Amino acid sequence: MRIEIATLFPEMCEAVLSTSIIGRARAKGAIEVNCHQIRDYTTDRHRRVDDTPFGGGMGMVMQAQPIYDCWKAVCAPYAEPPHTIYLSPKGKTMTQEKVRELARKPALFLLCGHYEGVDQRVLDRIVDEEISIGDYVLTGGELPALVLTDAVARMCENVLPSVECYEEESHYNGLLEYPQYTRPENWEGEAVPAVLLSGHHQKIREWRQAQSQALTQELRPDLWAKWLKCTNEDADL
Ligand code: SAM
């Protein structure tokens, strides 16, 4: 997986991407992530990348030219341009299903907007899809691009120790994860559920599945209804 991030703040992205699991995955070559400074591609002699919106209104809009030239330069070595995503509060909300789909692509190009957003003409020219990380507005697309990169990277081979690391987690199979416990067995009078100490793998699996179902039903009735529907459809096949 190669991920190309176009941003006005590459140092902000690098700081996160050089740390922890993603930093180690990059260092050992399991994934490649490159951050590109959009400003390096402006033809403006004052290095401007934004201007006031036509029609009036608050704030500034990122111009088409530097973004398009950045995208073309980054795509040049590719036989096919990477799947291009604009991180935007107007996009489809990101889900684990979408992350799984993106993790199967060979390469992604992530465009981070700023200010009031990006000139629509360059979006129409280069973007395959717009993705939002939730129904709220942030100051820039860097945090959403980092969220997407983290979620996709951890599903790529050799990033986590094994596929079980993500297959058993919340959302992967449509349910929330069961509660987790670690040492000590008794903490301030609170004991770990006895079944987890039993060594009986089948019983532990059943307990975890029951906990997952109960938690999902209680905390996310929307996911629960979807899971029930899919499970019943599978049973009918
Ligand atoms: N004027 C835009 C609107 O109302 O839809 C919001 C622009 S926002 C202040 C600046 C940039 O942050 C956007 O261009 C986008 O790249 C990013 N952004 C903000 N919120 C986001 C979200 N929820 N998901 C993804 N990207 C977001």
Task: Write down the residue that tokens 């500034």 correspond to.
Answer: 60
Which residue among 87, 116, 120, 139 is best mutated to probe the pocket of ligand 1, counting the most ligand atoms within 8 A of its Cβ?
87
Cα distance between residue 3 and residue 32, in whole Å:
6
Say if ligand 1 is within 6 A of residue 130 CB: no
Counting atoms of ligand 1 from 1, which one is nearest the CA of 131?
25
For residue 101, the CA-to-ligand 1 centroid distance in Å is 23
Q: Vertex 14, ends 164 and 170: CA angle to 5°?
A: 25
The class (CATH top level) of 168-236 is mainly alpha
Say if ligand 1 is within 6 A of residue 92 CB: no
Domain with CATH 1.10.1270.20 in the chain: 168-236
Domain with CATH 3.40.1280.10 in the chain: 2-153
Q: Which CATH superfamily is domain 2-153 in?
A: SPOUT methyltransferase, trefoil knot domain (3.40.1280.10)
Mean pLDDT by 10 residues, the chain (237 residues): 98 98 97 98 98 97 98 98 98 97 98 98 98 98 98 95 80 93 98 98 98 97 95 81
Do the Cβ atoms of 91 and 112 come closer than 8 Å? no
Per-residue pLDDT of 94-104, as tens digits, reads 999 999 999 99
Question: Considering the entire predicted model, what is its pTM?
Answer: 0.94
For residue 141, the CA-to-ligand 1 centroid distance in Å is 6
For residue 214, the CA-to-ligand 1 centroid distance in Å is 35
Cα distance between residue 50 and residue 82, in whole Å:
25
How far from 76 is each of 70, 72, 73, 79, CA to CA, in Å?
Answer: 10, 6, 5, 8
For residue 157, the CA-to-ligand 1 centroid distance in Å is 31
Which residue among 9, 138, 149 is best mutated to probe the pocket of ligand 1, counting the most ligand atoms within 8 A of its Cβ?
138
- Beta strands 83-93 and 129-132 are parallel
